[in-house]
Amino acid sequence: MGMIYRLRDVRLEPEGRVQDLCLRDGHLEECADGLPGVEIEGNGGLLLPGMIDPHVHLRTPGMEAAENWDTGTRAAARGGVTTVLDMPNTRPPTTTRQRLAEKRALAAAARVNWGLHFGATATNLPEIAAVENIASVKAYQGSSTGDLLLDEDEALARLFKAAATADMPVTLHAEDEGIIRERAASLPEDADVHLHGWARPPEAAASAVKRALALAQETGATLYFCHVSTAAELELIRPAKAAGMPIYVEATPHHLFLDERDLATLGNYGKVNPPLRSPEDRKALWEALLDGTVDTIGTDHAPHPREAKERPYREAPSGMPGLEVALPLLLTAVLDGRIPFSLLAPLTSERAARIFGIQPAGWVLADIVTPRALAPEEIESRCGWSPYTGRVLRGWPQYVWVNGELVLDAGAFTPQAPGREVAFRHNR
């Protein structure tokens, strides 16, 4: 018999009845009389499935000053995330089977479950049919991410065909590199972060989405659009989804909870790709989340050290951490009436599990009563900062289970690191 946890006075809905439940080997069941187990006082907390984050950058190998598999998955657990899917733009990028194997070895330190995306280049497409157990093939239509840039239609079409043949989704960073380069050439010498949205405008995102949709229709590829951030993209994607194309949309917390006005206080700490958008774009994204156009929440957790973010605008890297506030941000929105609770599990767990063909493997018991701000000294991410420091939130995880083992115990980490690689079954 595996570990049993007897949970006293927990809820399955924010306004639901308080009850006693048991977790046995990670499976929820009613408590039988006399059943032994570790007792946990829930204090009316909310028990819900752990989040699956399809989009994280744990920066290892090559950028360990920003994050590693221990600190990044600590941040994940703190934020109620029990599975992370890591992106390929490390140093070196994950674009060969050897590099994939090397990254797998590094993930042994993970405290939550994990999987890996594989990077597409113009020269590695034959590898796609041979790689095993990957979440997706990731293509960067923009952002000039080393040799991961793949912005030519012919190369994209070859990628889409190869992925469709392998029954594997293509995850896309959709920004038009031509438009980005044209804008970059026109940036004034004294440009600051307030021009970042102009340098990577909504039309760059819309242009890339339009091209990708046309190629997907030709090839039958399944597309997962990362960090959709504009009304223009959504207007293109909605009819494609309505027509039955296998198209999925991810939204990030920072595009939902921040916009370009926050750059006044964040400065370069708010520099991300795609940029923080207008209030109107943020409103459109919320509407898309509520009407079902948005399928998943991915944090795009992309930390950088403070010293890098404090360089001049042109030199400062793009990206911000987001893992350890993921669930509190969303639960606060639920408790404030912005998101129906019925949408929370689909957005944070169920749809990602279906899209990527994996099994959820975690539970979170969150305090939905006590409001609390994230203090700088509490930050688990190695980068040591968050754009949400000082923001008062509810729904902070108190207990987190991964694969039936307790990782976070009354807000403190246990010695366990039970995370393991997930198995992908792309059978949508």
Residues tagged active-site = 300
Measure the CA–CA gap between 38 and 22, rounded to whole angstroms.
10
3-state DSSP assignment of residue 307: helix
* 103 Ramachandran zone, left/alpha/beta (phi>0; psi -120 to 50): alpha
Closest by Cα among 319, 293, 426 to 383: 319
Measure the CA–CA gap between 196 and 250, rounded to whole angstroms.
21
- Please check whether residue 6 is in contact with residue 22, taking contact to mean a CB–CB distance below 8 angstroms: yes
Measure the CA–CA gap between 326 and 409, rounded to whole angstroms.
19
**Both tokens of residue 90?**
């490390």
Closest by Cα among 280, 148, 156, 274 to 213: 156
End-to-end CA distance of the chain: 33
* 87 Ramachandran zone, left/alpha/beta (phi>0; psi -120 to 50): beta
Q: Work out the burial of residue 350: count CB atoms within 10 Å of its CB; fewer than 13 is exposed, 13-18 middle, 19 or more buried.
A: middle
- Please check whether residue 197 is in contact with residue 277, taking contact to mean a CB–CB distance below 8 angstroms: yes
Measure the CA–CA gap between 271 and 169, rounded to whole angstroms.
28
Measure the CA–CA gap between 210 and 228, rounded to whole angstroms.
13
Measure the CA–CA gap between 57 and 304, rounded to whole angstroms.
10
Q: Which residues contact 91 (CB under 8 A, 6 or more apart)?
A: 61, 62, 63
345: amino acid identity, one letter: A
- Please check whether residue 423 is in contact with residue 358, taking contact to mean a CB–CB distance below 8 angstroms: yes
Q: Work out the burial of residue 33: count CB atoms within 10 Å of its CB; fewer than 13 is exposed, 13-18 middle, 19 or more buried.
A: exposed
116: amino acid identity, one letter: L
Alpha helices in 311-390 (DSSP H): 326-335, 341-345, 351-356
